[in-house]
Amino acid sequence: MNICVVGLQWGDEGKGKIVDLLSESADVVVRYSGGANAGHTVQRDSREKTFALHLLPSGILREKTMCVIANGVALDSEVLLEELAELETRGIKVGDNLRISGRAHLVMDYHKKQDRLSEESLGKAKIGTTIRGIGPCYSDKAMRSTAVRAADLLDLDRLKEKLRVIVEGKNKMFAALYQDSEPLKSEYLFEKCRLWAEALGPMITDTTALLHGAWSQGKRILFEGAQGTLLDLDHGTFPYVTSSNSSAVGLSAGTGMPAKAVDRFLGVVKAYSTRVGAGPFPSEQDNEIGEYIRKKGHEYGTTTGRPRRCGWFDTVCVDYSIKVGGIDEIALQHLDTMSGLKEMKICTGYRYKGKKVDFFPAEAEVLQQVECEYESLDGFEEDITQAMDFAELPAPARKYVERLEEILARPIRYVGVGRGRQQTLTR
């Protein structure tokens, strides 16, 4: 059975933990979109320090799983090498179990610089990016003539000349647009590429061929989405989105595998909502409730450390994400964070200028102005982090899950009650 795990909110839903869990019965785990802007924290048991992964598929913690960084990823080789080094110091050796697509695009220093300069120049209109160079890297992919792919690391002479031309152009652009007076040196960037080629070259291959081979041999493939559906470039809350197709629709473009290769689409949500960076967030609670959730749920960005904006569960946007992604079932994370709240609210509808909205609005301006309609459920006080079975949960916690399941019309198959692998209840 091939499964695709995808976030249904604005990222950080806890996909890493679910992928880690499901990777036990997967032969191949594939990351298909985004880059080092993502942050997956995974913990093998509750006493262990977490692993913060940005690029490596979460399956990397299991030795026998083949991990693939597919073509849809914006590959920051520096971050990848740091991650590999960190794993090694903690006793996890990565070698033949990691493959990188030659078609993946490389994030270069000038992408990060462009991201930063662009955000600084936008003032209040900024996107609130992670400054990881993601947008500029994907822009160069679309531009084609200024793109660098992983396979380019396998032909260094050609890459040297290519970089010379690209860097010259970038320097001119930075000087003209941002009055930048610190030009980048292509020789320096080339030296970095040489080191990346040495370390990563043996892992670079045609992962499309690899995946089709695995599929035809009946191997079990797990596709790991990054970020969430509402940050998808085409289907998210544009322009406050990332620059790749972070919903389930990114799977085919990002891997070269048809959607029909997937037997089950599993959507991951938190028991509430969060978002980092700018953009509309109808059910946001910029008050003591949001603050309570932030503190209790440790809602600070894995990649940037920024405090996450927090709010109630929004079934309007999750229902939309379910539709866009063809989601079959749901994993609900962080239910334990809700304990201690007197009431738990669920956003069940929007009103715009007094009128009921019947589909998730495409315009950020409309979404900024909608008013949420809420249903209120009783809260619970108990600590549920040690629960081993759904039936052990306090009645209001069960009712909350069952009500969400009813509204979303999809089975909530997993319920997360803590960070550790074993703190996931299967229903």
Residues that bind ligand IMP (CB under 6 A): 10-12, 37-39, 127-130, 132, 134-135, 227, 231, 240, 242-243, 276-277
> Among 89, 139, 151, 83, which residue's Cα sits nearest to residue 110?
139
Nearer to ligand IMP (CB atom), residue 233 or residue 401: 233
DSSP 8-state code for residue 277: S
Nearer to ligand IMP (CB atom), residue 252 or residue 304: 304
**How far apart, in Å, do the first and last CA atoms of the chain sit?**
19
Q: Are 308 and 246 in contact (CB under 8 A)?
A: no
Nearest distance, CB of residue 2 and ligand IMP, angstroms: 23
Nearest distance, CB of residue 404 and ligand IMP, angstroms: 21
Q: Are 312 and 285 in contact (CB under 8 A)?
A: yes
CA distance 78 to 378: 48
Q: What Å distances lie between residue 419 and 4, 17, 44, 68, 249, CA to CA?
A: 21, 8, 9, 24, 28
Q: Are 350 and 364 in contact (CB under 8 A)?
A: no
Nearest distance, CB of residue 277 and ligand IMP, angstroms: 2
Catalytic residue, chosen from 20, 40, 105, 152, is: 40
Nearer to ligand IMP (CB atom), residue 74 or residue 335: 74
Nearer to ligand IMP (CB atom), residue 12 or residue 314: 12
CA distance 184 to 56: 28
Which of left, alpha, beta for 94 (phi over 0: left; psi -120 to 50: alpha)? beta
Catalytic residue, chosen from 12, 115, 152, 336, is: 12
Nearer to ligand IMP (CB atom), residue 306 or residue 351: 306
Q: Identify whether 212 is a catalytic site residue.
A: no
**Cα within 13 Å of Cα(309), Cβ side:** 15
Query: Residue with the closest Cβ to ligand IMP?
Result: 277
Burial 122-161 (b: 16+ CB within 10 A, else e): eeeeebebbbbbbbbbbebbeeeebbbbbbbbeeeeebee
Q: Identify whether 40 is a catalytic site residue.
A: yes
Nearest distance, CB of residue 29 and ligand IMP, angstroms: 17
Nearest distance, CB of residue 334 and ligand IMP, angstroms: 14
Neighbours of 75 (CB within 10 A): 27
> Among 367, 303, 321, which residue's Cα sits nearest to residue 134?
303
Nearer to ligand IMP (CB atom), residue 97 or residue 130: 130
Mapping DSSP to helix (H, G, I), strand (E, B) and coil, where does residue 127 land? coil
Tokens read off for 230 = 């509402």
Nearest distance, CB of residue 375 and ligand IMP, angstroms: 26
Active-site positions?
Answer: 12, 40
